[in-house]
Amino acid sequence: MHQGKTFIISGPSGVGKSTVLHELFKGRDDLYFSISATTREPREGEEDGVHYHFIDVKHFQELIEADALLEYAEYVGNFYGTPKKYVDKAMNEGKDVILDIEVQGALQVCTKRPETVRIFIAPPSWDELERRLTSRGTDSPDKIQKRLLRAKAELQTADVYDYFVINDSVERAVREINAIMIAEHCKPADRMKILSE
């Protein structure tokens, strides 16, 4: 049976990753969006198993000890991680899995599962990223400069990534991600299995 693959999609704040992912998933029941486990409290309107798997610190600790997480990180006092269980289930059902995680998480997954495909969504230019962050109107100029610095720092570890998708338009970014997913399924490791049958 056709086996799914895992694709990491990372990108700096403001690059438009959420919009791209939203478009990517439209009408696609052959794709699975990995839902993180977290120890943070659910916010208004957040559902367990939909937005996050909400678990307590003890449970999270158990998952770490059982090596049941593909990656995890602490962020503002809460833990976030990717349970292997759901990822593997989806792949076994022939679905491709999308992990929306950051560079540090990508590095962890890359160590555990080097076959995971890593895609970085980049802005067309730094000026454009600054413009997008400014036009959101949610951050102070100081915060925006910090986000820009962080984005540039992330790009320094960019050799972790197999592909760079430049989000100059959502349509193009989605087309490129879809192309990458199709191309990766044409790699010898996948196809030689079929041909040796």
**Which residues form the interface with a second copy (CB under 8 A)?**
119, 122, 125, 155, 158-159, 161-166, 175-176, 178-184, 186-188, 190-192, 194-195, 197
Write the single-letter amino acid at 32. Answer: Y
Helices assigned H by DSSP within 55-140? 57-65, 84-92, 103-112, 126-136
Nearest-approach distance from CB 9 to a second copy, in angstroms: 12
Rank residues 102 and 176 by Cβ distance to a second copy and give the closer one.
176
Show the tokens assigned to 6: 């895992």
Closer of 97 and 117 to a second copy (Cβ): 117
* Residue 11 C-beta: closest distance to a second copy, Å: 12
**CA 57/CA 60 separation, integer angstroms:** 5
Whole-number Å distance between alpha carbons of 8 and 79: 19
Measured from the CB atom, the residue of 14 and 81 that comes closer to a second copy is: 14
Query: Whose Cβ is closer to a second copy: residue 88's or residue 168's?
Result: 168
Smallest distance from a second copy to CB 177, Å: 9
Between 69 and 130, whose beta carbon lies closer to a second copy? 130
CB of 163 to a second copy, least distance (A): 4
Smallest separation (angstroms) from a second copy to the CB of 189: 10
**Integer CA distances (angstroms), 27 to 3, 49, 111, 131, 132, in order:** 20, 20, 32, 31, 28
Positive or negative torsion for Cα 41, 43, 48, 51: negative
